[in-house]
Structure 1
Amino acid sequence: MDEARDALEPREMRAWMAFLAAGHLIDHQVERQLKHDGGLSHAEFEVLVKLRSAAGRRLRMSDLAREAMVSKSRLTYQVTRLERAGLVKRSGCPSDRRSVWAELTDDGAAALDRVRPGHRRVVRETLIDVLSPDEIDLLGDALTRVADRLHER
């Protein structure tokens, strides 16, 4: 490991610290809105969103974990909470006894409908409206490159 190369220059440190601060603050605002409007955590909201966009509003738990970018154990915890609330149901997969499906219920879809307007408002107020159209494009391109690099690993 080359410590001299790994050290961050002042402008790099500024970018890193701003990324961390903005990410934490935006996540806090989103979490607050989701809890207030629907009693959901941000992670639970993401699970519901992934299920709603899936064919038949259902995914295998392993695929859902990959889509939501969480560990299988963390996903099991979230889905258990959502299932207790009646927002998701689990069922066995007839073609593969080792697989379990997670499916969005009608109540889960209704919960998403309740929280989505506020979620969009918070995203717009905390990020989109602060940036110019060019900055939005630049941010989208830059963070896509970062995500692509991490997915490759």
Structure 2
Amino acid sequence: MRAHRSTLSKVERALRAADLPPLEWYDVLLELERGGPLRPRDLQDRLLLAQYNLSRLIDRMASAGVVERERCSEDARCQWVRATPKGEALRKSMWPIYAGAIREAVQSKLTPSQARQIGDLLERLSSCPATCG
């Protein structure tokens, strides 16, 4: 947990220094790129955010013009969230900063072989269903 917090803190600082939005914006935009448009509850499941946090985050992102909401045709209570072209461009501009901060945090402490091993282990753990272990 300490390593996770430390690394994310470095990523957040790098994004802030580049005058980019917080990492959570990247995560939302990435999930919308991977599977969008998505309903807020689907985003919530993918990002593991509390509903009220996600609602406020989507509000801020919509105000900035990087996501937009659209009502579902089959259910008036439902809405879809999609990335706008501006949002897609923003996510792409955030990636080099994000990746560089991760590289810096990992390369300074691990050999390439150790980094690959940890990556393989984390991939295995992240693909484990919630019911395992």
TM range, smaller chain: 0.7 to 0.9
TM-score (norm 1): 0.74
For the 8 Å contact 2:69–2:81, the answer to whether it is kept is yes
1:108 pairs, out of 87, 97, 100, with 87
2:30 is aligned to 49
**CA 1:147–1:110 in structure 2 vs 1: closer, same or farther (change >3 Å)?**
closer
For the 8 Å contact 2:20–2:94, the answer to whether it is kept is no
Identity %: 26
Equivalent residues, number: 132
Matched, 1:59 2:38: yes
* Mapped partners of 1:101, 1:63: distance in 2: 10
1:97 is aligned to 76
TM-score (norm 2): 0.83
Alpha-carbon deviation of 1:144?
4.4
2:13 pairs, out of 21, 28, 32, with 32
* Mapped partners of 1:150, 1:34: distance in 2: 31
Query: Which structure features the higher share of strand residues?
Result: 1
Alpha-carbon deviation of 1:138?
3.2
Q: Which has the higher contact order (CA 8 A, sep 6+)?
A: 2
* Mapped partners of 1:48, 1:42: distance in 2: 10
Secondary structure of residue in 1 paired with 2:11: helix
Query: Which structure features the higher share of helix residues?
Result: 1
* Mapped partners of 1:108, 1:40: distance in 2: 11
* Mapped partners of 1:29, 1:134: distance in 2: 22
1:119 pairs, out of 74, 78, 98, with 98
1:74 is aligned to 53
- Segments of 5+ residues of structure 2 without an aligned counterpart are none
Secondary structure of residue in 2 paired with 1:50: helix
* Mapped partners of 1:71, 1:151: distance in 2: 17
**CA 1:150–1:74 in structure 2 vs 1: closer, same or farther (change >3 Å)?**
farther
Secondary structure of residue in 1 paired with 2:49: coil
Larger Rg: 1
* Mapped partners of 1:110, 1:147: distance in 2: 27
